[in-house]
Structure 1
Amino acid sequence: MVKSVATLAPIAAVAAVLAATQPVISASRQYPVKPVIIVVPAPRGGGTDIFARELAKIVEEDLKQAVIIDNRPRGGGIDGVSKAVSASPDGYTLAFVWNSPLTAKPLATQVPYSLESYQAVMSIGFSSYVLCAQPGFPAETAQEFLNEIKAKPNGYSVGNDGVGGTMHLASERIFQKIGAKVNAIPYVGSTDTARNFLAGQVDIYGGSLSTILPHVRDKKAKCLLLTSAADNAALPQAGGLDSVGLGSVETVLWWGLIAPAGTPRPIMDRLEATFTKAASTERFKALMAKQGATPRISDGRQTDALIRSEAEALKTVADGVGLRRH
C-alpha cells in the first residue's frame, strides 16, 4: 500500500532529527579524543591554580588525555570565564573558577556572560575568607578586632580582591552589620592584596587563607576574623562569625568547574563523574587541608543552585553599598 504524503512527513521529520543528533551522540561516546583545556582565571601559584593543577594531574589518568591549564588572570576572573564559556560546547574547554567571577563581579562590572552562558560540572569545597591585621594591631581576638575598627571610623584600610569581588562584599556584609566604616582598597586578587599588605600599604588583608597562611607562620600577619560562621583549625587565633554573633552574614570562598552552556549531557556526566572521583581522593583532600580548605563535593545541579542563590544574596549587599555596574 502506498503511504500518503501526510503520513510520510512525520516519519521524515523524525529521521532528520535522528540524523542530526547522531554525530553529537557519537562524539559524546568517544569523548575525549584530544587534550582538554581548563581555563583558570587566576594567576599561577594561588589557591585556585593549585587546586586546578592537581585535579588536572589526577583526571589525566582517567580521561587518558592531556589536561592543559590555561591561566587567564586579567579582569578579576572575567577574562578567563569569558574565554571558557564562549568556547565550543564540546567538553574540550572548561573553566576551574572560584565564585567571585560568577556571583559577585557581575554586580559591579558589565560582563560578557550571564548565568545562562554556562553550566556547572561540580564543585570541590570551600574555605573562609579571612581578615588579617599587621602584627602590631591592637587586638588579639575577633571581638577585639571588630571593636577596634568600629571605634575608629575610616581609621583603617582593608585590601580586597577588587571592587565588587566576593571578599569586598563579604567584608562589607560584616561592617554594615556592626556599623563600622573601613576604607576598602581594591587589588587584583589575593596574591596582589597580600603583597601590598606585607609592604604596609594597607592595614588589613582581606582574602583567601591559602595565600596568607605562609606569612602567618612567619608571624608577618595576625589573622583575627573569618568570614565563615565556623572557626578554622588552620588559623586558631581567628574567630568564625558565630563567635561574635554574626553567623547570619557568612560568605565563603568556594571552587568549581563549569562548561559552556549546551555541552551534551553525556559529556557533562562523564566530566562530573571524573572530577568528582578525583576530588574524592585522599591525595586531593590532603592538598585542600594543607591550603586551609574544607572538602564539600557537590554535583552540577547542586552547584548551579548555589551559584544562583549566592548571586541573589550578594546583590542585596551590593545594593546596600550603592555598588553600580561600570
Structure 2
Amino acid sequence: MKHFENFARNLTRCGSVAVLLAAAGAAFAQPYPNRVVKLVSQFPPGGGTDLVARIVAPELEKLLGQSVIVENKVGAAGNIGAEFVAKSAPDGYTILVANNTIVTNPSLQKTPFDVTKDFAPITVVGATAIALAVHPSVPAKSVKELIEMVKKDPAKFSYSSCGNGTAMHLAGELFKQVAGISMVHIPYKGCGPAIIDGISGQVPILFNTITNTSPQAKGGKLRILAIASATRSPVDEQIPTIAEAGFAGFDADIWFGFLAPANTPRDIVIKLNDAVSKVVAMPEVQAKMKAQLFSSRASTPDDFAKVIQSDLSKWSKLVKEAKIQAE
C-alpha cells in the first residue's frame, strides 16, 4: 500500500512539473510582441528625439497590436539612455530611439557602451538639417561667396554653435576643413543663446538647427545659405546644400534611428524594421514630421549599421584632426 501511495505522489509531482513546463513552453511560443514595447528616448520631452519617438509610437502600436510607450532616460549627452538599452534584455521589448550623438559621443569621450557591438540597428526613421546661416549684415548670398570673404580676411570672422562637441560644432569644423578656411569657433550653452546672438549680429555666422534658423530667416533676421545634409531637404527644397557648392559628399545632418540591444533575434529586428518603416511611410506621420522640420526616411538594418560605422569613422577622424573636446 505504501509503495502505491509513493508512486501516486511521484506521479502527481511529475504531472505538476509537466504542466509548468507546458505553460512555460506556451509562453515562449507566443508570437512577438505579447506585451508592452518600450521606446527609450535619450533626451528630454520636447526635444527632437523625443518628438520622433512620440510621433511614431501611436501608429507602431496599431501595427504591432501591443501597447508602445515612450520613456525618457536622459543625461550625460544621451549616454544614460543608450547604456540602459544596451544592458537590457535582447528580447525586442526595450528599443532605443537615438540621434547621431550615439556615434559622435564615442569620438569625444569614453562611453559606457560600444555602439558597433552593443546594439542591433533596426532602421533610420528621419533626420533634421543643420543650417549654415548668416546675419543680414553679412554680404555673402551663397556658400561660395562666404568662403571667399573669409579667405580674404580670416581674422574678421567667427561662427557660433550650440556647444563644444555638438553636431553643429562638428558641422562647422567639417566645413572649415573641406573649404580650407579658418574661423574662430564660439560655443554657446545651447542653441537658443547662439540664435539670440546671431540675430543681433554679435556672432553673424551660425551653424544651428533648421528648426531654429528657419523662423528667423522667414522674419528677415537671418539668411540661410545652405544646409549641411547630403541632399536638399523635402521640408524646403529651395535651400541648397553645402555639397552643391563644390563639396561633394558633405553630410552632417542629425539623423534619428531605432536600435535594439545586441543579440536581439534577427526575426524580431526584421519585424520591427518592417513595422517602423511602414509607419514612417504613412502620409499622416510624414506630415507630423514635416511640421517639426524633420524629413522622413527608412533603411534596412544592414544599411543603418553601415551609416553608424561610416559616421563613427568620419567624426572620430575629424575630432582628432581638429582637436575638438566636449564640454
What's the TM-score bracket when you normalise by the shorter of the two chains?
Answer: 0.7 to 0.9
Question: Larger deviation: 296-305 or 124-133?
Answer: 124-133
**Structure 1 pair 300/154, CA: closer, same or farther in 2 (3 Å)?**
farther
CA contact (8 A) 1:46 1:191 kept: no
Q: Which residue of 2 aligns with 1:17?
A: none
Structure 2 regions of 5+ residues with no counterpart? Answer: 1-20
Distance 1:69 1:144 in 2: 45
Unaligned runs of 5+ in 1: 1-19
2:136 maps to amino acid = P
**Deviation sequence 1:217-257 (CA, Å, 0-9, x none):** 33332211221344446456743123321123333222110
The Cα of 1:190 is off from its aligned counterpart by: 4.5
Say if 1:40 and 1:70, in contact at 8 Å, map to a contact too. yes
| 1:162-201 correspondence runs (5 A) | 162-187=163-188, 190=191, 193-194=194-195, 197=198
8 Å Cα contact 1:193/1:206 also seen in 2:
no
Larger Rg: 2
Amino acid at match of 1:271: L
Deviation, 1:51, is: 1.8
Range that drifts further, 232-241 or 117-126: 232-241
Aligned to 1:63: 64
Q: Tell me how far 1:113 sits from its aligned partner.
A: 0.7
Measured after TM superposition, the shift of residue 275 of structure 1 is: 0.9
User: Is the Cα–Cα contact under 8 Å of residues 80 and 95 in structure 1 kept in the other structure?
Assistant: yes
Runs of 4+ residues over 6 Å off in structure 1: 22-25
Partner of 2:254: 253
Change (3 A) 1:212 1:50: farther
Distance 1:75 1:142 in 2: 34
* Secondary structure in structure 2 of the residue aligned to 1:206: strand
Amino acid at match of 2:111: V
1:265-284 equivalences under 5 Å are: 265-284=266-285
Distance 2:133 2:183 in 1: 14
Deviation at 1:111, TM superposition (A): 0.7
**Which residue does the alignment assign to 1:297?**
298
Residues 141/324 of structure 1: CA separation in 2 closer, same or farther (3 Å cut): closer
| Distance verdict in 2 for CA 1:303–1:281, change over 3 Å | same
* Kept in 2: contact 1:120–1:259 (CA 8 A): yes
1:210/1:324 CA distance change after superposition, 3 Å: closer
Q: C-alpha displacement at 1:36, in angstroms? A: 2.2
Q: 1:136 to 1:57 in 2, by over 3 A?
A: farther
The number of residues matched between the two structures is 305
TM-score, length-normalised on structure 1?
0.80
Question: What root-mean-square deviation, in Å, do the aligned CA atoms of Structure 1 and Structure 2 show?
Answer: 3.1
Judge conservation of contact 1:134–1:220 (CA < 8 Å) in 2. Answer: yes
Counterpart-to-counterpart distance in 1, 2:193 and 2:53: 20
Q: Which residue of 2 aligns with 1:112?
A: 112
* Distance change in 2, residues 1:25/1:224 (3 Å): farther
Question: Does the CA-based 8 Å contact 1:89-1:263 persist in structure 2?
Answer: yes
Distance in 2, Cα, partners of 1:271 & 1:188 = 36
Corresponding position of 2:135: 134
When residues 175 and 90 of structure 1 are mapped into structure 2, their CA distance, relative to the original with a 3 A threshold, is: same
Number of the residue aligned with 2:322: 321
Q: 1:279 to 1:233 in 2, by over 3 A?
A: closer
- Asked if the contact 1:108–1:163 (Cα under 8 Å) also holds between the matched residues in 2, the reply is no
Is the contact made by 1:107 and 1:318 (CA closer than 8 Å) also made in structure 2?
Answer: yes
> What percent identity do the matched residue pairs reach?
26
CA contact (8 A) 1:91 1:263 kept: yes
Deviates more, 1:273-282 or 1:229-238: 229-238
Please state if 1:212 is matched with 2:213: yes
Q: Aligned equivalents of 1:245 and 1:223: distance in 2? A: 17
Distance, in Å, in 2 between the alignment partners of 1:200 and 1:24 is: 67
Cα distance, 1:242–1:269 mapped onto 2, change above 3 Å: closer
Distance 1:168 1:291 in 2: 22
Q: Deviations over 1:40-68 (max 9, x none)?
A: 22333333322221101211112233322
Supply the distance in 2 between the matched residues of 1:162 and 1:77 (Cα, whole angstroms): 15
- Deviation by residue 1:157-199 (Cα, 9 ceiling, x = unmatched): 4333443333322221210122222222345665665466457
The answer on whether the counterparts of 1:76 and 1:188 sit within 8 Å (CA) in structure 2 is no
**Distance change in 2, residues 1:34/1:232 (3 Å):** closer
When residues 193 and 67 of structure 1 are mapped into structure 2, their CA distance, relative to the original with a 3 A threshold, is: farther
One-letter amino acid of the structure 1 residue matched with residue 37 of structure 2: V
8 Å CA contact 1:142, 1:238 repeated in 2: no
Q: Which residue of 2 aligns with 1:310?
A: 311
Per mean C-alpha deviation after superposition, the further-off stretch among 126-135 and 230-239 is 230-239
* Conserved? CA contact 1:37–1:93, under 8 Å: yes
